Chains A and B, each alone.
Chain A
């Protein structure tokens, strides 16, 4: 008994204090993973805010974007051209989804739209596989992936780059959605469809914009993740990790998606390294879900959900 308590409450913190540089490395690794979760969750939040649709296919959109990018690079296109083309493909995808999925189902129950996104999920997965093949691929867009030592801590350039990119992306989105008339229109649509229509906001245009932005966010997530661990179909499973992130941060909050992602990322790495040995490891795989479960019990609206709705 005493041994277990010691293992849970004392030993991990003693280890952390014993080697702060190692702790910092674990945290940095967690922040990197967390930012990637955040990017996927961000795509969910954007679409959910604007249309109330929970887009089950967001994870596959990450995969699809990464596959497209790799496919274009394999055909010998320069990185910049491939990036632009991939972004265009994601925008075209948004148009197609609006036309083929959202428009015919307008005014339907949310659950029906949700089911439609599940269908979209499988379609995109199969379509991506058909066009680009099912092999694991290496994605190299020229982001340096060397590790250097800064203040006694090992820092990976790729992780640093990902962190900065995610931060910039979030800042741009925040400005875009709060400072511009598109942002105002988006918030209006999220709040009340009917009223938004009556003041002349075209729902269809807003949906295309939101799905395009979500597609491009998915592309960025796909690049980061693909550069780290290769482009493969398990990439679409990150979407599942985005779920607890959303429950943590609140389904409607952009800052919530970021905070939730960081908490899950750092939490699961710390849990794995310091508490993992107690139960034989693999905490990383279920940590996020347990945290999400606790949140559902005690704060179902998430960290930022309700408050942000009130103020935004």
Chain B
């Protein structure tokens, strides 16, 4: 297995070491190991039911593996709960958009800043002094993200009323508002038309280069995966069957058999 690009830091940002997850009799992940280096864009692909979302859920703390470890920035964090994982600087989006549908786009993105907020509730309640300055500072960050993702026009629209493609974009904005070190995207382009996909690709690449955000994403569109990823990991039936540069993975016989090829049975 050759790596397309060795990350600059000696140690990978995230190490998934021999992780297994079991749902009853089903082994959703079977000793999967994956390293994600700082600054990389890593795509996780595989047929339906291969365990891609499970892997993302393990990394973000929604599931805990029964064996194996997860090391983030050199520290073991296998057993952390989702809010604590978020506090470490890992943000995510969901396969079926999980926005706060009743809130406006702006409020949705502001919730992404919750972890960054400090200070007295009392001051906040009366919106005075430091609390006011803080709110304004966070607001400024959020406005930058809104500009960046080109969603100025829908700032005040309740998220539930937006078309699916835009909801996905708002969800990305909320994740970015947390200024994550590692961004996990679960099918960021599902259900989008070609134009929206191109926009989303551009955003992902820009986030990666401008904010130095490391990105792991699940995607089904092979064209997109091959275009934007530095590295591709392939899962099948809970096992990792390949890991390498897009070119390498494209030619891998196991991958062709399991996924790209004809043998779906």
Binding site for B on A (CB under 8 A): 175-176, 179-182, 184-185, 187-188, 191-192, 194-203, 309-312
Residue B236 CB within 8 A of the other chain? no
B94 contact set on A, CB distance < 8 A: 194-195, 198
Selected contact of B178 from candidates A179, A192, A200, A311, CB within 8 Å: A200
Residue B87 CB within 8 A of the other chain? yes
Contact B91 A184 (CB under 8 A): no
Shortest CB–CB separation between residue B68 and chain A, in angstroms?
22
A312 contact set on B, CB distance < 8 A: 102-103
A201 contact set on B, CB distance < 8 A: 83, 111, 114
Known contacts A180-B125, A195-B99, A311-B102: A200-B115 contact under CB 8 Å: yes
Contact B125 A176 (CB under 8 A): yes
Contact B62 A199 (CB under 8 A): no
22 A-B pairs whose Cβ atoms sit less than 8 Å apart in the complex: A175-B126, A181-B117, A185-B114, A188-B100, A188-B111, A194-B94, A196-B100, A196-B111, A197-B62, A197-B81, A197-B82, A197-B86, A198-B82, A198-B92, A199-B86, A199-B114, A199-B115, A199-B174, A201-B111, A201-B114, A202-B83, A203-B83
Contact A192 B125 (CB under 8 A): no
Segment 67-123 of B: residues with Cβ below 8 Å from A:
81-83, 86-87, 91-92, 94, 98-103, 107, 110-112, 114-115, 117, 121
A195 contact set on B, CB distance < 8 A: 94, 98-100
Contact B102 A310 (CB under 8 A): yes
Known contacts A179-B124, A200-B87, A202-B83: A187-B102 contact under CB 8 Å: yes
Known contacts A199-B86, A199-B178, A200-B87: A192-B99 contact under CB 8 Å: yes
Residue B127 CB within 8 A of the other chain? yes
Binding site for A on B (CB under 8 A): 60, 62, 81-83, 86-87, 91-92, 94, 98-103, 107, 110-112, 114-115, 117, 121, 124-127, 158, 160, 174-175, 178
A192 contact set on B, CB distance < 8 A: 98-101
Contact A200 B86 (CB under 8 A): yes
Using CB atoms, name the residue of chain A closest to B118.
A181
Contact B83 A184 (CB under 8 A): no
CA distance A198 to B96 in the complex (A): 14
CA distance A32 to B107 in the complex (A): 36
Selected contact of A184 from candidates B60, B102, B111, B158, CB within 8 Å: B111
Using CB atoms, name the residue of chain B closest to A252.
B102
Shortest CB–CB separation between residue B132 and chain A, in angstroms?
10
B178 contact set on A, CB distance < 8 A: 199-200
Contact B60 A198 (CB under 8 A): yes
Using CB atoms, name the residue of chain A closest to B122.
A180
Known contacts A187-B103, A194-B62, A309-B102: A199-B112 contact under CB 8 Å: yes
CA distance A175 to B125 in the complex (A): 6
Interface-central residue, A179, A192, A197, by most chain B CB under 10 Å = A197
Using CB atoms, name the residue of chain A closest to B121.
A180
B82 contact set on A, CB distance < 8 A: 197-198, 200
Selected contact of B114 from candidates A175, A181, A311, CB within 8 Å: A181
Selected contact of A198 from candidates B86, B103, B127, CB within 8 Å: B86
A184 contact set on B, CB distance < 8 A: 107, 110-111, 114
CA distance A176 to B112 in the complex (A): 19
CA distance A69 to B253 in the complex (A): 75
CA distance A188 to B81 in the complex (A): 18
Contact A194 B98 (CB under 8 A): yes
B115 contact set on A, CB distance < 8 A: 199-200
CA distance A309 to B98 in the complex (A): 16
A182 contact set on B, CB distance < 8 A: 121
Contact A197 B158 (CB under 8 A): no
Interface-central residue, A175, A181, A188, A195, by most chain B CB under 10 Å = A181
Shortest CB–CB separation between residue B24 and chain A, in angstroms?
16
A310 contact set on B, CB distance < 8 A: 102, 158, 160
A197 contact set on B, CB distance < 8 A: 62, 81-83, 86
Interface-central residue, A179, A184, A312, by most chain B CB under 10 Å = A184
Shortest CB–CB separation between residue B73 and chain A, in angstroms?
17
Using CB atoms, name the residue of chain B closest to A203.
B83
Contact B100 A198 (CB under 8 A): no
Contact B158 A191 (CB under 8 A): no
What 5 pairs between A and B have smallest CB-CB spacing?
A: A200-B86, A195-B98, A191-B100, A197-B82, A180-B124
Shortest CB–CB separation between residue B158 and chain A, in angstroms?
6
Interface-central residue, B92, B125, B160, by most chain A CB under 10 Å = B125
CA distance A278 to B238 in the complex (A): 74
Contact A179 B102 (CB under 8 A): no
